[in-house]
């Protein structure tokens, strides 16, 4: 039996770990899964709601590191996680995605000789100004098993001289959570609460510092979103840092007088129910690019690059950057076109990635 520590730190991690833990529990003769929550996402109420929505067991360890600078947070995760490794002596540690918890825990394991599997390996934005890109690059270099969500990930790793024996294309585990929870999300009353009709509203999320911490960039985005909201109402679950900057930059009155409705951040099932009924999604999120592709929902990514190019080549995603006119033009074209996209879901985005991940751990 393999003892596996599954690391979660921020909300995107929860959706990726949930199917893996569920599959390990199903294979109770093969796996003993434990969950380590680093506490990188420090909003306890939101973390708890995600655990509940996704059916994830309570963490076996909660490191409670909280919010700090990148260096301090990474260091605190490492010092808190090392005693867990020494106590549990796991056969594998699974890290997911590209947050500080990912690289911090991988580093501890690498120095202690504990095997690390990186789920969502090989993704590259090719923009090293993004902290997440540094986390991806370094985690992939020190992991023992690289579990990729798409074939471009395999190619990126090979170009970086990662031995092919370490690379395993397993598909996108985030989509496992989407398909598993889509029916359950219909129990949510969020659309009723907001008086929304399917396909007659848009959803926006913005949280990246490069978008919401720079007034000039945020201004360009609002100058695009407000005219789009004249065509279709926009529901905007607001990240705390984004709400703070709306106030600090003096945007509050402008937004209030538009057809953009600001709401509090949502739990997983409520948010799924919200975006799954949208006519269009405008976002700087990585995960939403994937989720909208899986569900065939047009998505405009408000970034200059993406580490998920397969959502463009095989999915419903369009990379529009932060150019006001390009965002408006792309949104208006989508809103004026009622025909469904002819793009297909990428290979192995079939809801069974967790099964292949568990197989790879057994064979690894």
- 168-188: pLDDT as tens digits: 999 999 999 999 999 999 999
Catalytic residue chosen out of the listed positions 62, 68, 207, 239: 207
> For residue 341, is pLDDT > 60?
no
Residue 337 — pLDDT band, cuts 50, 70, 90? confident
Quick one: what percent of the chain has pLDDT higher than 90? 86
Write down the architecture of domain 2-171+349-363 according to CATH: 3-Layer(aba) Sandwich (3.40)
Residue 313: the pLDDT is: 94
Residue 335 — pLDDT band, cuts 50, 70, 90? very high
Residue 50: the pLDDT is: 77
Alpha carbon distances (Å) from 8 to 34, 107, 137:
11, 15, 19
Active-site residue flag, 207: yes
| Minimum mean pLDDT range among 30-44, 217-231, 335-349 | 335-349
Chain centroid offset of residue 337 CA:
28
Quick one: what percent of the chain has pLDDT higher than 70? 96
- Residues 14-69 have pLDDT tens digits of 999 999 999 999 999 999 999 999 987 656 656 677 788 888 889 999 998 888 89
User: Do the Cβ atoms of 234 and 201 come closer than 8 Å?
Assistant: yes
- Please, what's the b/e burial string for 153-192 (b: 16 or more CB within 10 A of its CB; e: otherwise)? bbebbeeeebeeebbbbbbbbbbbbbebbbeebeebebbe
Q: State the chain's mean pLDDT as an integer.
A: 94
Strand 61-62 and strand 31-37: pairing?
parallel
The CATH 3.40.50.2000 portion of the chain extends over 2-171+349-363, 183-336
Residue range 148-165: mean pLDDT, rounded? 97
> For residue 263, is pLDDT > 70?
yes
- Provide DSSP, 109-120: HHHHT--EEEET
> For residue 189, is pLDDT > 80?
yes
Write down the architecture of domain 183-336 according to CATH: 3-Layer(aba) Sandwich (3.40)
| Other beta carbons less than 10 A from residue 344's beta carbon | 11
User: Do the Cβ atoms of 311 and 229 come closer than 8 Å?
Assistant: no
Distance CA 255, CA 246 (A): 9
Distance CA 249, CA 219 (A): 9
Distance CA 144, CA 166 (A): 6
Distance CA 268, CA 15 (A): 8
C-alpha neighbours within 13 Å on the C-beta side of residue 29 = 0
C-alpha neighbours within 13 Å on the C-beta side of residue 62 = 12
- Residues 273-312 have pLDDT tens digits of 999 999 999 999 999 999 999 999 999 999 999 999 999 9
């Amino acid at each position: 039996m393999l003892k596996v520590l599954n690391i979660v730190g921020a909300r995107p991690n929860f959706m990726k770990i949930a199917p893996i833990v569920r599959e390990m529990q199903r294979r109770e003769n093969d796996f003993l899964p434990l969950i380590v929550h680093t506490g990188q996402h420090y909003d306890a109420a939101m973390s708890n709601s995600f655990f509940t929505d996704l059916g994830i067991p309570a963490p076996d360890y909660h490191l409670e590191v909280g919010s700090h600078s990148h260096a301090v947070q990474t260091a605190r995760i490492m010092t808190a996680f090392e005693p867990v490794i020494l106590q549990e002596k796991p056969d594998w540690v699974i890290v997911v995605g590209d947050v500080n918890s990912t690289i911090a825990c991988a580093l501890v394991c690498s120095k202690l000789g504990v095997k690390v599997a990186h789920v969502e390996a090989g993704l590259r934005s090719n923009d090293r100004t993004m902290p997440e890109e540094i986390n991806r690059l370094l985690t992939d270099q020190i992991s023992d098993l690289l579990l990729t969500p798409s074939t471009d990930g395999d190619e990126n790793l090979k170009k970086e001289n990662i031995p092919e024996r370490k690379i395993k294309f397993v598909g996108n585990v985030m989509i496992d959570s989407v398909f598993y929870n889509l029916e359950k999300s219909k129990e949510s009353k969020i659309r009723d609460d907001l008086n929304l009709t399917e396909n007659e509203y848009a959803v926006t999320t913005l949280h990246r510092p490069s978008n919401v911490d720079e007034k000039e960039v945020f201004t360009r985005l609002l100058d695009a979103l407000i005219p789009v909201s004249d065509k279709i109402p926009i529901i905007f679950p607001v990240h705390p840092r984004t709400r703070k900057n709306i106030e600090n930059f003096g945007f509050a009155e402008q937004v209030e007088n538009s057809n953009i409705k600001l709401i509090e951040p949502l739990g997983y099932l409520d948010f799924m129910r919200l975006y799954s009924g949208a006519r269009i999604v405008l976002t700087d999120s990585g995960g939403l690019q994937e989720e909208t592709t899986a569900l065939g929902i047009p998505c405009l990514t408000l970034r200059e690059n993406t580490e998920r190019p397969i959502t463009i080549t095989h999915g419903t995603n369009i990379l529009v950057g932060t150019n006001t006119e390009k965002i408006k033009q792309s949104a208006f074209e989508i809103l004026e076109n009622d025909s469904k996209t002819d793009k297909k879901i990428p290979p192995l985005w079939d809801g069974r990635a967790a099964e292949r991940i568990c197989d790879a751990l057994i064979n690894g």
